[in-house]
């Protein structure tokens, strides 16, 4: 059963009167976690769109930057987005529910933050209210400052991305140590590894885009340094 079929079941629960926040309570174990991840990205993305007040993009198109959404399932994605945007619950309530869902896997919360950055930059702009929103979600998810800076460096084009920030490294590290960091990030970005964390296969574009940025940062650092002897 695809993640979208499972989301259809979740929407049925919503139709029976259950709240979207309550739905998260049933999504703590595999394969339900794949559904939880997808709903979390859509729901928090909707809250972020509401927060910055600049819904200038096609929301389903924005989610295509993260998920492979078959045409027949676009209506379900849009319905979830609208439900979350209209819900009176605050985004911090959602973020805390999601943090509790993945409290045993920090990497999955990092993956989710990456999805939110994709959505924030879907219209090519990074609004100050999006920065505020993402910073607070990162705090609730216990994303470190260095991890947040790394994500921001990968996505926000207000300046050329610092390759060291992208790799969560520093210029005073040896090339050998940076190479180890690069290899670790590449391994963590493998679609199978991400799937084991609860990221749905439908979100494989996250891994693809992450690898492009990670490899570009490594090549830039490598070209600026003497090769390892």
Query: For residue range 155-191, what is the model confidence (pLDDT) as tens digits?
Result: 887 656 688 888 888 889 999 999 999 999 999 888 7
**pLDDT for the residue 143:** 94
Q: Note the pTM of the prediction, 2 decimals.
A: 0.71
pLDDT at 60 over 70: no
In a domain, 113, yes or no: yes
In a domain, 204, yes or no: yes
Q: Which domain holds residue 182?
A: 3-224
User: Distance between CA 43 and CA 53 in Å, rounded?
Assistant: 16
In a domain, 229, yes or no: no
Mean pLDDT value across residues 45-53:
77
8 Å CB contact between 148 and 138? yes
**pLDDT for the residue 13:** 65
8 Å CB contact between 143 and 108? no
In a domain, 27, yes or no: yes
Q: What is the pLDDT of residues 190-213, one digit of tens each?
A: 878 887 777 767 676 777 778 888
Query: How many domains would you assign to the chain?
Result: 1
C-alpha distances (whole Å) from 23 to each of 42, 69, 74 are: 14, 21, 20
In a domain, 212, yes or no: yes
8 Å CB contact between 36 and 101? yes
In a domain, 131, yes or no: yes
**pLDDT for the residue 133:** 92
pLDDT at 55 over 60: no
Q: What is the pLDDT of residues 80-109, one digit of tens each?
A: 777 777 776 788 988 998 898 888 788 889
C-alpha distances (whole Å) from 226 to each of 7, 198, 217, 229 are: 51, 39, 16, 9
**pLDDT for the residue 2:** 62
- Work out the pLDDT band at 229, boundaries 50, 70, 90: very low
Q: What is the pLDDT of residues 110-156, one digit of tens each?
A: 988 988 988 888 777 888 888 999 999 999 999 998 889 888 888 88
**pLDDT for the residue 14:** 64
Taken as a whole, the chain contains a residue count of 229
Backbone angles phi, psi at 72, to 5 degrees: -70, -10
pLDDT at 66 over 50: yes
The DSSP string of the chain is: --HHHHHHHHHHHHHTT--HHHHGGG-SSTTHHHHHHHHHHHHHHHHHHHHHT---S-HHHHHHTT----GGGHHHHHHHHHHHHH-SS-HHHHHHHHHHHTTT-HHHHHHHHHHHHHHHTTTS---HHHHHHHHHHHHHHT--HHHHHHHHHHH-TTSPPPHHHHTT--TTS-HHHHHHHHHHHHHHTSHHHHHHTT--GGGHHHHHHHHHHHHHHHHHHHHHSPPP-
Q: Which two tokens stand for residue 5?
A: 């079929």
In a domain, 34, yes or no: yes
**pLDDT for the residue 183:** 94
In a domain, 126, yes or no: yes
Q: What is the pLDDT of residues 4-46, one digit of tens each?
A: 667 776 666 666 666 777 776 666 655 567 777 888 888 888 8
């Amino acid at each position: 059963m695809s993640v979208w079929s499972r989301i259809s079941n979740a929407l049925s629960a919503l139709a029976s009167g259950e709240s979207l926040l309550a739905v998260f309570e049933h999504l703590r174990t595999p394969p339900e976690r794949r559904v939880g991840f997808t709903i979390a990205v859509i729901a928090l993305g909707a809250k972020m769109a509401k927060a910055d007040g600049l819904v200038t993009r096609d929301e389903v198109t924005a989610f295509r930057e993260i998920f492979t959404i078959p045409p027949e399932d676009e209506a379900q994605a849009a319905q979830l987005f609208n439900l979350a945007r209209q819900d009176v619950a605050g985004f911090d309530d959602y973020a805390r529910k999601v943090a509790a869902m993945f409290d045993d896997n920090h990497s999955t919360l990092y993956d989710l933050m990456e999805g939110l950055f994709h959505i924030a930059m879907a219209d090519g702009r990074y609004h100050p209210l999006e920065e505020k929103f993402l910073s607070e979600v990162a705090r609730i998810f216990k994303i470190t400052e260095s991890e947040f800076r790394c994500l921001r460096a990968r996505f926000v084009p207000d300046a050329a991305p610092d390759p060291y920030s992208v790799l969560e490294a520093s210029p005073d590290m040896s090339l050998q140590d940076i190479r180890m960091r690069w290899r670790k990030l590449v391994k963590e970005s493998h679609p199978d590894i991400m799937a084991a964390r609860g990221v749905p296969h439908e979100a494989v574009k996250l891994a693809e885009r992450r690898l492009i940025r990670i490899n570009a940062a490594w090549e830039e650092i490598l070209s600026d340094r003497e090769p390892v002897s």
